[in-house]
Structure 1
Amino acid sequence: MSAELGRLLREVGAVLFDFDGPVCSIFAGYPAPQAAAELVDVLRRRGIDVPPDLASEADPLEVLRRTGAAGDYGVTRAVEDALCAAERRAVETAEPTPYGREAIVAARQAGMQVAAVSNNSAGALTAYLAAHRLTGHVSPVVGRAYAEPTRMKPNPEPILRAVRAVSLPANRCVLVGDSLTDVEGARAAGIRSIGYANREPKVRALRAAGADVVITSMGELARSLVALDSHGDSAER
């Protein structure tokens, strides 16, 4: 394992995983642009005049953010409900990230606590974890606050909820995430971060955002955690 990654892992007792990216590609079989377009249709059915840039938005989470920023809670709830339903459908065809499951299992075997912290809905996370026999490995599961998109990462609140649930100091927790919002949220929460970059431009972006370590495969993390366990580091946790 890389010395930098191994050193970080020896200093923490809990690994918090972002969901879409490190664990799976949630919209692999149900494309995110399709889900976003369906949310835009919800707005139109509500009589909302949708601007062109929002009409062409490919990220359903961004549609929710923009809706919330408009300030009509009833409309935000309608979009939230539609997004929760879309995510529940999406996890049925989500594509597991190579070595994502192995990293979760290895973290538990190394004596670490494992949590999920996501801007996706908790219902979608729970359904995926159950389908992939991971429910017993991951607790707590912290999803997006209902119809309050300002509380999504990079807001540190969901990360801090997970930190409180694992009952460890913030500096003994690390978040594994693939987006700038993950790294920014981790820094705001006072915890470490491992950036997962499956494309070269992401490596530079995550490093620039302040990720403590950047990996290009979840296999790197899984192998490092296995090495920790084999060296008996878990006994110190």
Structure 2
Amino acid sequence: MSAVLGRLLAEVDAVLLDFDGPVCSIFAGYPAPKIAAELVVVLQQMSASMPPALTDEQDPLEVLRWAGSTGNQATTQAVEDALCAAELRAVESAAPTRYGREVIVAARQAGLPVAVVSNNSAGAVTAYLARHRLAAYVSPVIGRAYADPMRMKPNPEPILRATQLLGISPARSVLVGDSLSDIEGSRAAGVRSVGYANRPTKADPFRGAGADVVIDSMGQLAEALIANTDS
């Protein structure tokens, strides 16, 4: 696997990182299910007619997706604003992913620009990077399109926007992500992908979705970047 990963990195000119997973666990101190429940309350305050199952939703992004599916822009904006505020609060207690920082630094030392492409808000990502002294290493930061959840990954748009801003061909870029939406979005964008299987059950689905490489530690990626720099 290390040889395959090394060859992939030798063939790309930029590293794109998903945020929640490869860089940190954004909801480590402010749990996602709690935020999802708070967003459901926002929907109730907006008198939205919700399916009963939504009250049990654990993922705040899925609550936002549902709000967007209603076609009611005021409702979608209310949920979006509440989620942005919650994410800014969450980054204060976010847990850095082991070796996530080393990957960012090693990529830059290897001469590769690093961008973040996230379904979280750009404001939250930027706040985390500044808080952890990583802002100087990462540009651009592409976050969730405001109140337009259909443009989140697996939609390839944010991935392609990152490559355009970097001035690098999608085929010469690699996205590292820990969800199927990252792998599927990468394929749709024509970008290589590394599946970060931070849970063992993710590995086979990532391979099935077409990930170029699957890793179970960001340390593997950091080591490969350092090896490519030294070679």
1:216-227, aligned counterparts within 5 Å? 216-227=216-227
CA–CA distance in structure 2, aligned partners of residues 46 and 65 of structure 1: 16
What code does the residue aligned with 2:161 have? R
Counterpart of 1:166?
166
Deviations 1:103-159 (A, max 9, x none): 000000000010000000000000000001100100000000000000000000000
Give the Å deviation of 1:197: 0.3
CA–CA distance in structure 1, aligned partners of residues 141 and 49 of structure 2: 36
Runs (5+) with no aligned partner, structure 1? 232-237
Counterpart of 2:106?
106
Counterpart of 1:119?
119
Q: Which secondary structure does the structure 2 equivalent of 1:127 belong to?
A: helix
1:182-221, aligned counterparts within 5 Å? 182-221=182-221
Deviations 1:198-236 (A, max 9, x none): 1211011111111000000000000110111111xxxxx
Deviations 1:14-34 (A, max 9, x none): 000000000000000000000
Deviations 1:15-64 (A, max 9, x none): 00000000000000000000000000000011123222111100000000
Normalising to structure 1: TM-score of the pair? 0.96
CA–CA distance in structure 1, aligned partners of residues 189 and 147 of structure 2: 22
Q: Which secondary structure does the structure 2 equivalent of 1:139 belong to?
A: strand
Counterpart of 1:235?
none
- Structure 1 segments (4+ residues) deviating >2 Å: none
1:22-41, aligned counterparts within 5 Å? 22-41=22-41
Runs (5+) with no aligned partner, structure 2? none
The percent identity for this pair of structures is 68
CA–CA distance in structure 2, aligned partners of residues 190 and 122 of structure 1: 23
Counterpart of 2:45?
45
Counterpart of 1:74?
74
CA–CA distance in structure 2, aligned partners of residues 104 and 180 of structure 1: 22
